[in-house]
Amino acid sequence: DICVGGSIEYTLIWNDEFDGNGTIDSSKWFHQTQLPNGNSWYNNEIQHYTDRLDNSYVSDGTLKIVAKKETYTDQGQTKEYTSARLNSKYAITYGKVEIRAKLPEGIGTWPAIWMLGQNISEPGAYWQTQGYGTTSWPSCGEIDIMEYVGNSPDEILNTLHFADKFDNHQYIESSTPYIQDKEFHLYGIEWDENNPRPLIPAN
């Protein structure tokens, strides 16, 4: 990015416009399906994440992530819901990140777009499989660009997660009113050495 007249102009370095139909571009995305503790996911999530077309695919210029109520067995565990969890295969430090998304509604849903430190030690995550996993959460850091918790339908959350010098979890959270119009909106941040600034929703 460059500074012009006191404002920043950014250069596009990574994107996916989800052209085509069917399978997600595996050169850009990684399906995270491994249960991190061999039994369940974090935050008491009760689904399996899969790499099936049933749960994630591209069509009509958009990525679809589909949560389904179904009995599904994987890794020796049977669960009653499935969905998809995607890691991008690109890492940045500072810049502008934008995602246009339409969110599901209802208690039990929890769509989120977030960034974790590339060094996070998280079994089955993309950067862990590439040998970068050296630091546990929250010391690796986390920037939640957008979280929409189904039991709080009137707000979008953005949160910074980090650790103090004793590795205790700390966070700074803010919220933005959510427009329940079932349309696509642009979510994002501008991130520099001082702080990330949320852009949610931009429109």
Computed over every residue of the chain, the mean pLDDT equals 92
- Is 70 designated active site? no
Whether residue 69 is predicted with pLDDT greater than 90 in this model: the reply is yes
Stretch 112-132: mean pLDDT: 96
Question: Going by C-beta distance under 8 Å and a sequence separation of 6 or more, which residues neighbour residue 166?
Answer: none
Cβ neighbors of 96 (< 8 A, separation 6 or more) are 1, 8, 10, 188, 189, 190, 191
The pLDDT of residue 151 is 86
**Which pLDDT does position 118 carry in this prediction?**
97
147 in active site: yes
Question: Going by C-beta distance under 8 Å and a sequence separation of 6 or more, which residues neighbour residue 57?
Answer: 21, 22, 23, 24, 63, 64, 66
Closest CA to 53 of 39, 68, 40, 38: 68
**What is the mean predicted confidence (pLDDT) over 169-188?**
92
pTM tops 0.95 = no
pLDDT of residue 3: 47
CA atoms within 13 A on the CB side of 38: 0
Model confidence at 111: pLDDT above 60? yes
Give the residue from 113, 182, 132, 191 showing the smallest Cα distance to 153: 182
pLDDT of residue 8: 79
C-alpha 103: how far from its chain's center? 13
Q: Which of 9, 98, 122, 147 is catalytic?
A: 147
| pLDDT band with cut points at 50, 70 and 90 for residue 67 | very high
Q: What pLDDT, on the 0 to 100 scale, is given for residue 200?
A: 64
Given the DSSP bridges, would you call strands 29-31 and 86-88 parallel, antiparallel or unpaired?
Answer: antiparallel
- Among the listed residues 45, 98, 142, 190, the single catalytic one is 142
